[in-house]
Amino acid sequence: MKSFDAIVIGAGQAGPFLAARMIEKGMKVALIERKFLGGTCVNAGCMPTKTLVASARAAHVARNGATYGVTIPGEIAIDMKVVRARAETVTMNARNGLIGWFAGMDGMTVIYGHARFEGPKTVSVNGETLTAPRIFLNVGARPVIPDLPGVNEIDYLTSTSIIDLDTLPRHLAVIGGSYIGLEFAQMYRRFGAEVSVIEHGPKLASREDEDISDAIADVLRSEGIDIHTGASEIAFSKSSDGITVATDSARIDASHVLIATGRKPNTDDLGLDAAGVITDGRGFITIDDKLATNVDGIWALGDCNGHGAFTHTSYNDFEIAAANLLDGDDRKLSSRILAYALYIDPPLGRVGMTEKQARASGHKILISTRPMSRVGRANERGETKGFMKVIADAETKKILGAAILGIEGDEVIHGIIDAMNAGTTYPALQWSVPIHPTVSELIPTLLGDLKPV
C-alpha cells in the first residue's frame, strides 16, 4: 500500500490546481486520471468547441463580407480537416502544458488508470492500493443518452465524438435545444450543413426567460436553422442515405445525429458505496457548503457535485477548498453568484436571477431592457441582434441578475458580475464613466432606465 498526504481523482479544472497548492505546502499527492489531463474543458469542452466556433465565425464573416464592402471572389469553402486539426492543436497544446507542469513538481505522482474506493481512506488503481487522509473527487461528467426508440440502432454523435468529425454533414439533426446543442447547431450551419434542432420542451434554452429564449430562436432561424420545439415523441431509424428522425410533427432526413440532451456525473463506477459516500437520485455527490461529502476526509469538486457544470465553477471549487483547507479561510459555496455564457453568435452572458426567478422570490423588482440596435458599437459592427436586460431590487438597490444577448455579451456581462460580487448598488454603477464606443458603455444607461413591474 502506497501512502500519500492527499489523493486527487480526476484531472479536470479543480483537481490539478488543488494538487499543486498542496505540493507547495510540502505535501505528497497522487493525481489519478483515467484518460486525459485537463478534463472536459481541455479535451472535449471549452477549448476545442470554442476553437470550432471561431472557425465557424470566420466562415460567416467571410460570406457576409460584401455588406462591409469586402468582396471575396468565388464561393467560401470549408476544409473540415483543417478545422478539426486546429481544434486538436489547441487541445494538445493545453494538455501537453499540463503534462510538463506536473513533471516539474516534486511530490506529484500522476497515475493513469481507473480509480475505485476500497474504503473511506483507500483507493485501488491498476492493481495497486493507495491511501491518504484526504481524498478529492474531481471526476466530471459525460453525455447522457436518453432511451428513445431506435437510438441504439443508429450511429449517433455526442458532444465529445463530434469534435473528431473531419467531414461536413449533409444534414445535422441536433437532439436537444439547450446550450451545447445550440452551439453545435449554429457552428455546423455556418460550416455549410443543413441543421435541424429538435427540442422536447416548449422553448430553447429552457433555463432562460421567455424573451431571451425567443430571441435565441430568432438568431438561429435567421441563419437558416430549422427549429422544432414541443417534440413529445422522437424516434430514429436508418434510411438509405442516412438517418430518419421522426417526431410527432416532423420527419427529418438527416445524415448525422447529435444527441445533446444533458450530462451525467462520472460517479457510477468509483465504488462510492465502499467509502460510504452518498449521492443524490441523479448520481451527483452530495456535499455541504464547503464541498465536503458525508464522509470525513472526502470532498467532491467540479461537475460531479452538481453545483455548476462550468469550467469557472469547477475552478472556484478549487479556490474554496484551497482557501479553507490550506489558508485557514472560511469560504462557502453558497456565496457564489452563478454566471455563465451561451456561445452562439452573438453570445449570451448571464448572471444571477432570471426575471422569472426574481418574481418568484418575492422581491420588489425593477427591470430595464435595451435592444442592441440602440447600441453604437453594435451598429458600427453591423451586429444588432439581441438585447440587454437587467433586474434589480427596488428596496436594496442591489442588482439581482442580468442577461446580455448580443455582440460581446459574454465580456460585457462581467461589469455586472463584478458589481454584484462587490455588493455595489445600481445607482453607484450609474455614475461610472465607461469608454466610448463600447457595448459596456450602455450599462449605466440600462440601469438608469430601471422601472418597477
pLDDT of residue 366 exceeding 90, the answer is: yes
List of residues 6+ apart from 41 with CB closer than 8 A: 12, 13, 47, 311, 314
- Over residues 277-292, the pLDDT tens digits come to 999 999 999 999 999 9
List the grid coordinates of 125.
488503481
Choosing from 171, 200, 256, 436, which is the catalytic residue? Answer: 436
Asked if 254 contacts 173 with a C-beta cutoff of 8 angstroms, the reply is yes
pLDDT of residue 195 exceeding 90, the answer is: yes
Task: Please report the pLDDT score of residue 349 as a whole number.
Answer: 98
- Asked if 151-261 and 339-452 have one fold, the answer is no
Task: Spell 87-106 as b/e; 16+ CB within 10 A means b.
Answer: beebbbebbeebeeebeebe
* Better-scored residue on pLDDT, 224 or 309: 224
The pTM is what? 0.96
List the grid coordinates of 17.
490546481
Q: Label residue 232 by pLDDT band (50, 70, 90).
A: confident
**Residue 322 and residue 325: Cα distance in Å, rounded?**
5
Of 180, 218, 185, which is closest to residue 406 (Cα–Cα)?
A: 218
CA 341-345-347 angle, to 5 degrees, is 25
Asked if 415 contacts 440 with a C-beta cutoff of 8 angstroms, the reply is yes
Asked if 305 contacts 285 with a C-beta cutoff of 8 angstroms, the reply is yes
Q: Residue 131 in 3-state DSSP? A: strand
Q: What percent of the chain has pLDDT over 70?
A: 100
**Residue 301 and residue 238: Cα distance in Å, rounded?**
41
Segments making up each domain of the chain, as ranges: 2-142+264-335, 151-261, 339-452
- Average pLDDT, integer, range 140-153: 96
Asked if 51 contacts 86 with a C-beta cutoff of 8 angstroms, the reply is yes
| Helix, strand, coil distribution of the chain in percent, nearest 5 | 35, 25, 40
Q: Reading across the β-sheet that carries 399-405, which strands appear in turn?
A: 339-342, 348-352, 399-405, 387-393, 365-371, 451-452
Of 264, 302, 298, which is closest to residue 281 (Cα–Cα)?
A: 264
**Residue 59 and residue 205: Cα distance in Å, rounded?**
25
* 339-452 fold: Enolase-like; domain 1 (3.30.390)
Task: Please report the pLDDT score of residue 144 as a whole number.
Answer: 95
Give the count of alpha carbons within 13 A of 217, CB side only: 20
pLDDT of residue 258 exceeding 90, the answer is: yes
Q: Please count the other Cβ atoms lying within 10 Å of the Cβ belonging to residue 284.
A: 18
Task: Please report the pLDDT score of residue 376 as a whole number.
Answer: 96
List of residues 6+ apart from 141 with CB closer than 8 A: 40, 263, 264, 265, 266, 303, 304, 309
pLDDT of residue 333 exceeding 90, the answer is: yes
Asked if 363 contacts 354 with a C-beta cutoff of 8 angstroms, the reply is no
CATH superfamily for domain 2-142+264-335: FAD/NAD(P)-binding domain (3.50.50.60)
- Over residues 85-119, the pLDDT tens digits come to 999 999 999 999 999 999 999 999 999 999 999 99
Task: Please report the pLDDT score of residue 309 as a whole number.
Answer: 87
Q: Which amino acid is at 333?
A: L
Length of the chain: 453
Task: Please report the pLDDT score of residue 360 as a whole number.
Answer: 96
- Over residues 12-61, the pLDDT tens digits come to 999 999 999 999 999 999 999 999 999 999 999 999 999 999 999 999 99
Task: Please report the pLDDT score of residue 267 as a whole number.
Answer: 97
Q: Is 114 a catalytic residue?
A: no
- Average pLDDT, integer, range 189-205: 98
- Over residues 52-94, the pLDDT tens digits come to 999 999 999 999 999 999 999 999 999 999 999 999 999 999 9
pLDDT of residue 252 exceeding 90, the answer is: yes
* 151-261 fold: FAD/NAD(P)-binding domain (3.50.50)
Of 350, 45, 60, which is closest to residue 187 (Cα–Cα)?
A: 60
- CA distance readout (Å), 437 to 148, 347, 362, 379: 50, 19, 37, 11
Task: Please report the pLDDT score of residue 359 as a whole number.
Answer: 95
